[in-house]
Structure 1
């Protein structure tokens, strides 16, 4: 019995060593992994932690590995008010007026399993900490829980911010029940992402004149600084869509500042490591999907180069009737414009329904994504010393604290 126990323990320890992933870091306007330039393709799959975790979640990682995806973006939030299959991470205690974190089997232990599966398949995760939209609980749920009425109050009310920081700190210091590693010491986590598509308005709460670009930039600054104080190893991103970019010749209001976003100000923050953009041409009123999409990619790539930081196309969805024409044009443009990471919306296993019409399943990844994954990988691998990275990071322009 003792020998069997030791053998089992040995296998467990071996599996942890074999699948340990190193940290991806920022090096000026590049990502680096083990002192080598790192470009990637990947995808989004929001349901990994709650939906069919014993079958569907492993299948997603198997498909991602098959197609050489390096990064998957997924949700690291789920409020009790939006419980799916009795899985939730946070709930509100009316007595203490605090957010409580569920660390049990139907709580963060599910996220433990997702991270462990990602590590086993050699895939890193961008973990998004809250949602601008109502799905699965996000900013508006927190606002309601604390008795407020306006969307922007998530960014400004001290007790909401205090509780959000409590949740962040819980994740950073959490020990994974599967791998035994603290989240803050786990290279499987590519980056912490502050929010999915932060704006001044959401699903059920409109914009208030008290919310401006300064409101969101200040919040991003405060929360990214908080994370870096408690976790010095992981990168941090905003999760924004790329709105608010002056000087672009376009009639489309996506370049305007009305939603509360200032792309340059946000990306320039000292503790934001890379920029993110999203694109949904069918939702944003594009008349020419290809022409306007290319312009969006080009303008943001040009803008971020001035800041000496990497940029990821983090989400974009193409309707099925335009996939054959638009998807290759977008992928090629993103490659040509030097995007460090290219991630589409979204990857799912075959049995998962295509709810929003943007899902690209296993068989179609070969058609629409694989060739560009090869290109991204061909751009990777150039050696760069740690000292040179340090100097490149010191050259970063535009870093500032929001006043």
Structure 2
């Protein structure tokens, strides 16, 4: 039986391919690498602009293992393609260790014997992304605990570690403790060894080295790296040295691809404009990244979105404009690569309404589009994140060990909090309209 949703999806796939000029599923075509030219990202002879999504769990679905689901990965990529999404941000790392709420399996443990099943899952995901004419940003570790991250690297070398959210270690002890990583030569060496392994890897599905694959848009140093939790604990020379040193390492291994930090921007830089500028001013860093989380930052109250939305909108607009100004000053492109908003009433239920979430998406899209149309640095947006067809079976909306319904909401967060489900038709329509508008700029 052919239902209305499948008919609409098929039409959207064709419309998306026509609108973006990208390779339709089932075909392969040589594509130029994405490069930087001043404030613009360029692919071939035209600017590269996009509406994208975060799909951190792509490699897990791509794994040939009980926790993998390649058929679902194909369906999710098709859905995203149908909505005009041409750029995905995915995790190419996860570190298994002692921290609570970290996803398992990971790509590595303390040993240099990396998880080949997970790496093969990444290969499969990248092959499917390439087959659909999409590009991906591959993130190489995490500041936060949900995929292991920097604290796990510290545990590997015998340093004291703490869990995020442990009441014995209230905020900002976790980010302050994490900042020890940047100056720990042994921890950084383990991380760099993993970076070398992934960047120089040959995809076992396509037979193509990652450094020669135009489906890779960029390598990313880390998800949301922060110099510390407060200025008193920030060892900025160590942090800057890690940023530039890692980026230069990647460039020495792969001359074809962009490198980005994964920074939130000002919120991840202790609200210091000088820190944002310095970490993105290195020649080794190709573009700025910005993350926008009004609910996490208490700019809005998810239990009272009608009463707090307007305040949040003002603060979001100011935040984005500040980063546009920094990017213009540095003459580099900018990507709003994470932005998330709760469902109405703070519900995690896919059936809950999304009036204010859609308004927030419209705001971010409008700011990005206006800047791009004016010749500014904004190249694209990646919403956080794609839940797709996943639905939690747990009444507490929490991720439990052994769950296989991977969502854009990571395992430390309520399942359904910020992610976009396949039934969120109004949000998908907004993303599709943004994709068309960004592509039409020329």
Pick one of 328, 350, 370 that aligns with 1:336.
370
Query: Does structure 1 conserve the Cα–Cα contact (< 8 Å) formed by 2:85 and 2:432?
Result: no
Deviations 1:316-355 (A, max 9, x none): 0012122133221221112112321111101132234462
Aligned match of 1:285 in 298, 306, 309? Answer: 298
Q: Which residue of 1 aligns with 2:84?
A: 68
Q: Give the Cα separation in 1 of the matches to 2:261 and 2:103.
A: 29
Partners of 1:208 and 1:30 in 2: how far apart?
33
Normalising by structure 2, we get a TM-score of 0.73
Matched residue, 1:177? 204
For residues 242-321 of structure 1, the aligned pairs below 5 Å read 242-243=265-266, 255-256=271-272, 262-286=275-299, 288-321=311-344
Q: Spell out, residue by residue over 1:49-85, the C-alpha distance to the aligned partner (whole angstroms, 9 max, x if none).
A: 1144312211221112112211100101122338999
The answer to whether the Cα contact below 8 Å between 1:154 and 1:160 also exists between their aligned partners in 2 is yes
Query: Which blocks of at least 5 consecutive residues in structure 1 are unaligned?
Result: 1-14, 94-98, 246-252, 381-403
User: Whole-Å Cα distance in 1 between the matches of residues 317 and 47 of structure 2?
Assistant: 25
**TM superposition score normalised by structure 1:** 0.80
Alignment of 1:210-225 (within 5 A): 210-225=233-248
Tell me what 1:400 maps to.
Answer: none
**Aligned partners of 1:86 and 1:305: how far apart in 2?**
40
Q: 1:371 matched to which residue of 2?
A: 433
Equivalent of residue 155 in structure 2, options 124, 144, 148: 144
Greater RCO, CA 8 A, separation 6+: 1
Residue 198 (1) aligns with residue 198 (2)? no
Task: Give unpaired runs (5+ residues) of structure 2.
Answer: 1-24, 62-67, 161-176, 301-310, 345-355, 373-377, 393-408, 410-414
Asked if 1 retains the 8 angstrom alpha-carbon contact of 2:231 and 2:270, the reply is: no
Alignment check: 8 A CA contact 1:50 1:85 kept = no
Which residue number corresponds to residue 351 of structure 2?
none
Kindly provide the CA deviation profile for residues 127-180 of structure 1, in whole angstroms up to 9, marking residues without a partner as x: 000000011211100101111134222211112222211111111111111000
1:157 aligns with 2:203: no
The answer to whether the Cα contact below 8 Å between 1:228 and 1:271 also exists between their aligned partners in 2 is: yes
Deviation at 1:221, TM superposition (A): 0.7
Q: Measure the CA separation in 2 of the matches of 1:75 and 1:161.
A: 19
For the residues of structure 2 that align with 1:174 and 1:16, how far apart are their CA atoms? 24
SS at match of 2:146: coil
1: distance between equivalents of 2:88 and 2:58?
Answer: 10
1:238-288 CA deviation, whole Å, 9 max, x = no partner? Answer: 00001179xxxxxxx96347xxx8111111111000000001001112151
- Where do 1:108-123 residues align within 5 Å? 108-123=119-134
